[in-house]
Each structure stands twice: as C-alpha cells, then as structure tokens.
C-alpha cells in the first residue's frame, strides 16, 4: 500500500457507515480530483424548475469561483452512491420533464413521470438524512469541517422561505453539488464510480461529503 492509499484508508470507517445507511458504494478521493466547471450551474438556470426558488439553489449559493476556493481548503471528499426506487420506461426517462410538466402530455406518460418524481423525491429525502448522519459521524471523529452536499434540490419544505432569505431548516438543508459547479458525472467516472446517463432502470443518485 503506497502513502496515498494509506492516507485514504483511514476513512474506511466512513465508507462502512455509508453502506450501513443504504449507499450502494462509497469512496474517499482527494479533493483535487473533484471536477468543477463554470458551465454546470448553467443547467440550473436553463433547465430546472427550482432555479431561484430555493435558498440551497443558484443564485442563492456560493458561485463556482467561490466554491473552487472553498474546495481547495479541503483535502478529501467522499463520493456516496445510492439506488433510487424511481423507474419509468426509457422513452419517458428521455423526456421526463416534458411528460411531467406539459399539461398536454399523454395521460399514461404523465402518470409515469409523476410516479418517477414522487419516488425520486422521496428517496432524495432519505439520502439527505443519510448524508447528515455521515456528516455527524465525520464531525465526531474529529473532522470538524465535514460538510455534506446532496444530489438534488431541497425537499424539506413545500415552499422555500426565499423571500425572507432565511432558511427554516438550517441544520438540515444542504446544497446540491451541481449547484456549486461540480460535474458529478466526470468526477464519478474518474473515481471509478460511473453514473449512467440517460438512466436505464433505477437511477443511482450520488452525494458528496467534504472532509477536513
């Protein structure tokens, strides 16, 4: 085992906790291996119905450049992969937003899209709770600046308190990694934990724990 592997091996306990909490894979990597790109949050601005409507989403979160500086102060991150029960036919998956939001969508396709998101959002909350537990575990092990990033926009409130600018669940709400510019697809592939796009079967959402 080389020195880099020895340093990473001390986080084996966190990887084990992640799996006990329902993760299908968990791996600690150097923070420098996380791929951050300016173009990633553009997808939030142009393709997400939650843009500007949640305090954990752009433009209410640190910019990509700010996050790069923050990430540079961390030594390691843990990638945590889960399996969602959400499922839909391939043609629905490839146009999931259209079938979900378009009132003129065929009823059977819309029903599939509605059920997909219901199951996906339900699992997102379970993932959040798992990541908060991992964050606490790391904190109690001496990594006091450990911080969880999650795989999707916050689902803690039916309507976010954006107008006042004050989160009503500050101890639980966490920022999605892509909102900060993390290209999770490239990062996961580099770590040997590739995510399949477009989804075939059950999605495998991935979250991230900053460790230091």
- Banded pLDDT at 199 (limits 50, 70, 90): confident
Can the peptide bond before residue 14 be classed as cis, meaning omega within 30 degrees of 0?
A: no
pTM of the model: 0.92
Question: What is the mean pLDDT of the segment spanning 47-67?
Answer: 93
CB-based burial of residue 36 (10 Å sphere; 0-12 exposed, 13-18 middle, 19+ buried)?
A: middle
Question: What is the mean pLDDT of the segment spanning 143-150?
Answer: 98
pLDDT > 80? residue 47: no
**What does the angle CA 87 – CA 93 – CA 39 come to, to the nearest 5 degrees?**
120
- What is the structure's pLDDT at 82? 96
Average pLDDT, the chain: 93
CB 147 within 8 A of CB 40: no
CA distances from 125 to 119, 120, 151 (A): 10, 9, 10
Question: What is the mean pLDDT of the segment spanning 10-33?
Answer: 96
CB 108 within 8 A of CB 142: no
Question: What is the mean pLDDT of the segment spanning 2-22?
Answer: 87
**What does the angle CA 150 – CA 151 – CA 152 come to, to the nearest 5 degrees?**
100
- What is the structure's pLDDT at 2? 61
pLDDT > 60? residue 1: no
CB 173 within 8 A of CB 128: no
Encode burial over 163-178: b for 16+ CB neighbours within 10 A, e otherwise: eeeebeeeeebbbbbb
- What is the structure's pLDDT at 3? 63
Question: What is the mean pLDDT of the segment spanning 181-208?
Answer: 93
């Amino acid at each position: 085992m080389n020195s880099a592997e020895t340093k990473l091996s001390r986080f084996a306990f966190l990887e084990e906790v992640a799996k006990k909490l329902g993760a299908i894979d968990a791996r600690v990597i150097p923070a420098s291996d996380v791929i951050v790109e300016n173009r990633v949050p553009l997808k939030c601005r142009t393709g997400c119905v939650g843009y500007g409507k949640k305090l954990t989403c752009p433009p209410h979160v640190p910019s990509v450049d700010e996050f790069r500086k923050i990430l540079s102060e961390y030594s390691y991150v843990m990638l945590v992969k889960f399996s969602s029960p959400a499922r839909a036919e391939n043609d629905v998956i490839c146009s999931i937003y259209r079938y979900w939001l378009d009132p003129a969508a065929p009823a059977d396709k819309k029903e599939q899209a509605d059920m997909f998101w219901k199951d996906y959002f339900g699992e997102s909350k379970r993932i959040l709770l798992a990541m908060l537990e991992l964050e606490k575990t790391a904190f109690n092990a001496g990594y006091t600046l450990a911080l969880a990033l999650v795989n999707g926009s916050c689902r803690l409130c039916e309507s976010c308190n954006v107008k006042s600018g004050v989160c009503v669940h500050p101890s639980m709400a966490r920022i999605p990694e892509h909102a900060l510019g993390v290209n999770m697809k490239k990062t996961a592939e580099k770590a040997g934990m590739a995510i399949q796009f477009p989804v075939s079967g059950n999605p495998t959402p991935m979250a991230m724990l900053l460790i230091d």
